[in-house]
Amino acid sequence: MTVDQIMIFVLAAPFAGALLLGLFVKRHPWLRWTPALLSAGMFLANLNLYGRVMEDSLTPFPWVSLGSVGTFYLRADPLGIYFSLVICGVGFFALFYAAVFLQRNVSSPSFFVAMLTSLGSCLGVAYAGDLFTLYITFEVLAISSYQLVILDRTPFSMRAGYRYLVLSLMAGLAVLGASLLINANIGTVVFGENPLITEAASWSIGAFYLFLFGFGLKAGMFPLHIWLPDAHASAPAPASAILSGILLKCGAVGLLRILFHVYSPEAQAAGGGMTTLTVLAVASIIVGSLGALMRFELKRLLAYSSIGQMGYILMGLTIKHPMALTAAVFHMSTHAILKSCLFLSAGTLIEASGKKDTRDLEGLAAWLPVTTGAFSVAALGMIGIPPLNGFISKFYLGLGAAGANMKWGLAVLMISSFLNVLYYSPIVVSLLWKKREQPLSIPKERLQLTGLAVGFLALACIIFGLGPLNAPFVAAQKACLWLMGGY
């Protein structure tokens, strides 16, 4: 198969799987395991693509033409394939967990359909070769992920879903408006070897802020994060793993495309665009960390933590240093692994104890050793304790800030890491060292299977933190070198 054919297969597979499950999973419950197998197959296909894309052309190819309406492009490049591997890898564990977690849930057919279409839309974001394709995949993602938020159909989840959907559609319209401005003034929106906009004008500055609104909202950037805590708190655990681990990164990928394929450095700086992004990135780190510190509902705490963690990625984009950019791209996979491990572990802890408050989860280590161990490893990774992958991200982000003579970046990292300690350590201490007499309300067989998923994710946190020469880090380096034109 050619590179183009593999991309089409990977993009079509989740939507075909969603159709299959929507039609037959109620009559054949065993089909709930097929999404995880499908995600594993897509991961292997992307590995094949990753090995071949360095030799084949990276020129976008038209995948559908609508005559006078326009032509939409896909392309395989190091950044897109790196992100697609993150999508399929984390998606596998979330879908495996979901097959166990939701086996008695009457809404599970619609859940798996929404999960697969969301993953397919994220892959579309990864492979988008022009701004209009990026817009379309964002809109499909908004609608499909909305179904994940409202799965329980409670008044709270419906309100959270409505807010999420409205804001996501607004973000999509902002991206569309900016894309139309560029198309009207430049005549093309297809990503090429050079930035589309090299000289600033009033319309290009306006388009930049529209992009910043649209992609920043999807990334959970302050002050556009208002949809995120309720959406994560209302969604089931495997959906929260996808929303935080993968969906938020779509906003970051969108910003990477804008900063490296649409605007030159000079055009970015015009109108204070990069200064604004820097300020909002730092604000996201601090506000997200403080928000988590003030929350006791476990999933809401993790949601606020995601805001701060996405701030690291955004800050890495604003520091003009290769190490900072590498840290930002590497943190896309790091945060995806860490936060999916935390949310999946949280799902088991909440279901087993019947409690959502972190103060009511004491002593679960004796009953759930694998799950509490995985949660603790991921929490320490979030803090940035070596030798976990979260340390690698923060270490290289700090090196980049120091190399760019931005000492304020080091101060932000130290403050946020201290705040991470303040809200994660009490949970870990309570889980591991306090005693609990109340029995658990979850079958042992389910504990073993869900523990398998979070156990492997925790193991990945350790393996990818033992040294910089690990597969995600190498892939992130190659993506950054390519983005900077030095590949």
Mean pLDDT of 348-357: 83
The tokens for 364 are: 């679960």
Sort residue 485 into left (φ over 0), alpha (ψ -120 to 50) or beta. left
SS3 content of the chain, % helix, strand, coil (to 5): 75, 5, 20
CA 307 – CA 290 distance, rounded (Å): 10
- Kindly report the pTM of this predicted structure: 0.91
So what's the pLDDT on residue 487?
42
So what's the pLDDT on residue 333?
92
CB 106 within 8 A of CB 76: no
Count of domains forming the chain: 1
The tokens for 320 are: 């003009």
CA 445 – CA 168 distance, rounded (Å): 38
Sorting pLDDT into bands at 50, 70 and 90, what band is 486? Answer: very low
pLDDT in tens, 234-291: 888 888 999 888 999 999 999 999 999 999 888 888 888 888 999 999 999 999 999 9
CB 267 within 8 A of CB 195: yes
Is 139's pLDDT higher than 80? yes
pLDDT in tens, 289-323: 999 999 888 899 999 999 999 999 999 999 888 89
Q: What are the residues facing 72 on neighbouring strands?
A: 64
Q: Which domain holds residue 129?
A: 3-483
pLDDT in tens, 165-206: 999 999 999 999 999 999 988 888 888 888 888 888 888 899
